[in-house]
Amino acid sequence: MRTLAFTTADGLSREISLRRDDEGDGFFAAKLEDETLNLELQSLKPGVGWLRIHGKITPYHAIRIKNEWRVWIGGRIFVLRIADRSIRAKPSSAAAKGTTLSAPMPGSVLKILVSSGDSFDAHQPLIILESMKMELTLSSPHEGTIKNLACAVGELVAMGQTLAEFESGDGHDSPA
């Protein structure tokens, strides 16, 4: 049994426990709070495939960034980390204040709402992506100043691609 901590794009944090089912490869039993789900996972190529939950098939895209997975499943973004119950360290304040904005799913840049040098507030819309006829507004959980925009309106972007670099409101600069 493996326990994963996950966070949705809107900040909701939960844990899910997974174990391989007796049916073989790709079949899992997942426990989320008090609900148990039977899942089937089919990888088509690295980072792309489909997931069957309660008979419904949903495509997914995933990318690994350092020690976490960013997964787009059916229009929602999840950040997954393996949870170690024995050591539950809180992230440092520097780690919590990221200094880049990355594409959480593949798509195209629909709108850029800021320019280099602009200051922004926490949760202020910065960039709007479009993917599969769905719009996703991207923001930062903290205030800051845009240092560099690494995308343009109409550009196709890959999951995990850096869209903007910024300086956080506490003066921490982007990593070199």
Is the model's pLDDT at 176 over the cut of 50? Answer: no
Find the helix or strand (DSSP H, E) in which 95 lies.
helix 93-96
For 105, phi then psi, to 5°, come to -160, 160
Just give the CATH number of 2-82. 3.30.700.30
pLDDT value, residue 8: 66
87-135 per-position pLDDT tens digit: 333 333 333 456 888 888 888 999 999 999 999 998 899 999 888 778 8
Residue linked to tokens 């006829």:
133
Which pLDDT score is estimated for 84?
A: 46
State residue 54's pLDDT score: 80
Angstrom distance (rounded) from CA 117 to CA 3: 41
Structure tokens at 102: 């990355």
Instruction: Give the Cα separation of 127 and 154 in Å (integer).
Output: 12
Q: What percent of the chain has pLDDT over 90?
A: 18
Q: Cα–Cα distance between 70 and 153 in angstroms, integer?
A: 23
Residue 67 has pLDDT above 50, yes or no: yes
Residue 151 is predicted with a pLDDT of 94
- Give the CATH number of domain 96-168; options: 3.40.190.10, 1.10.1750.10, 2.40.50.100, 2.40.110.10: 2.40.50.100
> What is the location of CATH 2.40.50.100 in the chain?
96-168
- The predicted model gives 139-151 an average pLDDT of 90
> Please, where in the chain does CATH 3.30.700.30 lie?
2-82
Which two three-digit tokens encode residue 62? Answer: 């995933």
Q: Which of 16, 169, 147 is nearest to 93 (CA)?
A: 169
Q: Tell me what the mean pLDDT of segment 2-8 comes to.
A: 69
